Amino acid sequence: MNELEDKKPGNHNIEIKKEFYEGYFSENPEIKKLQIEALEAHLLFDENRCYRFPPNINFDVRKHRLSFHNFEHIKAAVEGAIILFDEAFKNNNDIFNLKADLDKWNQGKGEEERISFEELADVFRLAFSFHDLGNISDGEVDENGKVVLRSSCLYQAKGAEERSVQIAEKLIGENPELKKHLPLVRHIIQETKFNFNQEAGRNSPFAVFVRVVDQILTNYLRRDYPEFVEGLTIEFNEEFNFKDKGETDFSKRRFPYLISDDSEKNQEKIKKLTSQLMEIIKPHIPKNNKIPSLV
């Protein structure tokens, strides 16, 4: 019997941990329940330490804490998204144009389909909680609403976003209160793909914001430094044939590209946005995280 089958979800009292960002969990109990289910699924997969990677990933995780896309990454992604949302909503400092992207998303939709700016925070909580479940599951949810973890313990990135969408659809299901959120949750999960959509590119709603949160911001907010650095470097170098020597090299090269396909022409814009981003997240960076600033 695979050791994952011996463990039952629901045994992690993660609600009482004080290190969660204040706005991490939704005030809606149904959404909070789904957030906890996603976190527990990643915790169970992480704690079993039975990762097996595809042959092209030369990474023996038994020597390391775990993969880059783990509980800490999910937690940091949700926190990062909500920190930037709060900055835009409460402080009117919308550096990634969330309001404009939401208007773009709502364009042409009926009144019942439109997402309000207040509702957007819960969409972010759901989407970023679910977005990497496809790495550790084949997209199945059991009769109790628990994510079925891959019995082979195989960590599989290819097609992960599609499987994560399947899980989101099954977890949200026909819940009348949450069903409205599902189309945008699907869209955001699909936008967590490493590269931009070839047709829409950066013009797709939330395309830049989602990738900055997922690929850059999470590295500054997670608490498993420096264990995750090698996992990130090896996974990306093997899968995308990067030649980066470490996480900082990747981030400093990737961030300008995410902002503009002509970074030379837009140096001032990138410099300003980099400074603004680091200023926002600086109070939230864990003390043990030593990733150098992007500035």
Q: What is the pLDDT of residues 66-97, one digit of tens each?
A: 567 788 899 999 999 999 999 999 999 999 99
pLDDT for 130: 98
Report the chain's mean pLDDT, rounded to a whole number: 83
pLDDT digits (tens, 9 = 90+) for 129-169: 999 999 889 999 998 889 988 766 566 778 899 999 999 99
pTM listed for this prediction: 0.87
Q: What is the per-residue DSSP string for the chain?
A: --GGGG--TT---GGG-TTS-TTSS-SSHHHHHHHHHHHHHHHHHHHHT--B--TT----GGGSS--SSSHHHHHHHHHHHHHHHHHHHHS---TT-HHHHHHHHHTT--TTTPPPHHHHHHHHHHHHHHTTGGGTEEEEE-TTS-EEE-TT-B---TTHHHHHHHHHHHHHTT-TTTGGGHHHHHHHHHHTSSSPPTTTGGGSTTHHHHHIIIIIIHHHH-S-TTHHHHHHHHHHHHHH----SSHHHHHHHHHHHHH-S-TTTTHHHHHHHHHHHHHHHGGGS-TT--PPP--
Range of lowest pLDDT (1-10, 196-205, 237-246): 1-10
Tell whether the model's pLDDT for residue 203 goes beyond 70: yes
pLDDT for 15: 47
